[in-house]
Amino acid sequence: MKKTVLVSGGAGFIGSHVTVELCNAGYDVVIADNMSNCDETNYNGVCAILGKKLPFVKMDFCDRGAVEKLFADYPIDAVIHFAAFKAVGESVAEPLMYYHNNLVSFINLLEVARQRKGGCNVLFSSSATVYGETDRLPVTEESPRQSATSPYGNTKQMCEDILRDSVRAYAGIKGIALRYFNPIGAHPSALIGELPRGVPNNLVPFITQTAIGKRECLSIFGNDYPTADGTCLRDYIDIVDLAKAHVCAVARMLDGRMKEEYEIFNVGTGRPVSVLELVNAFEKVNGLKLNYKIAPCRPGDVVAIWADPTRANKELGWKAERSVEETLAAAWAWEKHIAGK
């Protein structure tokens, strides 16, 4: 029988790509989103890619009654939880809003999921931000977590711990946390992608918005870091590759192949790329020149972080496949699509 996966926050950047890959793999998907940080563009894009309308529930996971109704209405075998606030700077200014939203929604979800007849599998979208600054690179899942530098980062750590402890205590649930490195790009159809509100914080949307003329100039934050070209190193992971890791993780849970009741996987390429390398690759693959300048370092940035993805490669049977060039071409096609060009 077909299994049903609930994707909370499924109208967002990562959730929409994961929904497409889950449907391609034969799962039924229910999307639930309160639309607080997105419009209907990605939901409509998902339906266009799949050629069908997917069940969509507009709801807030902080509303316990709404979560109960959702589980009563659909036979949910697994949940992938994306519904959360994600802006680092905003979380520093509004910590209570972040703690309330990101923790209460997750607790509600677990409370209801654990009581589901037949149990439930929960996949939490975590982040490499939990590793903080470290000089032991690449990072494995065993690398120690550092204390979080923002309330946002803290909610990722706390939700990981809430999931771990709940799985230990309650027979009804199993859990996986995926720690993403830097997700970039867009679906090859250019029908879904990243839609930051206001000025983008992340590098690739800032690059594409500069290239299309929405922003005047990209600032490269720092060029005297102790790296080969002086700019920071990150592990940029293609959004479709990242989405496929979720399908592998969900299948592992649903097929009873987990080795422990709570598992953690890094989702990255294992390949460090500098800011300048990324900018140069964008220019080259898309045949254009980007207006950029060197600016002061951004407070809080770590010099370098990239994944050791060995565990995900071996245990999930997943590997990042797309090159940075392919990914940057997709990001540019998406920017042109939303600009109507």
Q: Which residue is nearest to ligand UDP (CB)?
A: 232
8 Å CB contact between 57 and 30: yes
Our CA dihedral for 259, 265, 271, 275, rounded to 10 degrees, sits at: 180
Q: Which is nearer to ligand UDP, 298 or 314 (CB)?
A: 298
Of the candidate residues 130, 186, 232, 307, the single one contacting ligand UDP (CB under 6 A)? 232
Is 74 a binding residue for ligand UDP by CB under 6 A? The answer is no
Tokens at 262, concatenated: 């709570």
Assess contact for 281 and 329: CB atoms under 8 A: no
Does position 271 bind ligand UDP by CB under 6 A? Answer: no
Contacts of 24 (CB under 8 A, 6+ apart): none
To the nearest whole angstrom, how small is the minimum distance from the Cβ of residue 79 to ligand UDP? 25
Assigned token pair, 214: 């929405």
Query: Closer to ligand UDP at the Cβ: 206 or 318?
Result: 206
Query: Toward ligand UDP, which CB reaches closer, 19 or 286?
Result: 286
Which of these is catalytic: 152, 180, 236, 262? 152
Whether 236 is a known active-site residue: answer no
The answer to whether 238 and 312 have CB atoms below 8 angstroms apart is no
Q: Which two tokens stand for residue 300?
A: 């809080």
Pairwise CA distance, residues 184 & 325, whole Å: 11
Q: Does 206 bind ligand UDP (CB under 6 A)?
A: yes
DSSP 152: H
Residue found under tokens 């209570």: 96
Asked whether position 298 contacts ligand UDP by CB under 6 A, the answer is: yes
CA–CA separation, 74 vs 212, rounded Å?
42
Copy the structure tokens of residue 67.
């979560």
Out of 149, 201, 227, 323, name the contact with ligand UDP by CB under 6 A.
Answer: 201
Sequence-separated (6 or more) residues with CB below 8 Å from residue 179: 126, 127, 128, 130, 131, 141, 264, 265, 266, 267, 307
How far apart are CB 153 and ligand UDP at their closest, in Å? 10
Cβ 257 to ligand UDP shortest distance, Å? 31
Q: Nearer to ligand UDP by C-beta: 81 or 234?
A: 234
**Residue 219 interacts with ligand UDP (CB under 6 A): yes or no:** yes
Q: Does 168 bind ligand UDP (CB under 6 A)?
A: no
Q: Are 274 and 227 in contact (CB under 8 A)?
A: yes
Task: Please state the closest distance from residue 310 (CB atom) to ligand UDP, in A.
Answer: 21
Contact with ligand UDP (CB under 6 A) among 202, 280, 291, 310: 202
Rule CB under 6 A: is residue 281 a binding residue for ligand UDP? no
Among 3, 81, 187, 234, binds ligand UDP (CB under 6 A): 234
Toward ligand UDP, which CB reaches closer, 166 or 274?
274
Sites of contact with ligand UDP (CB under 6 A): 182, 201-203, 206, 218-221, 232, 234, 275, 298, 301
Catalytic residues: 152
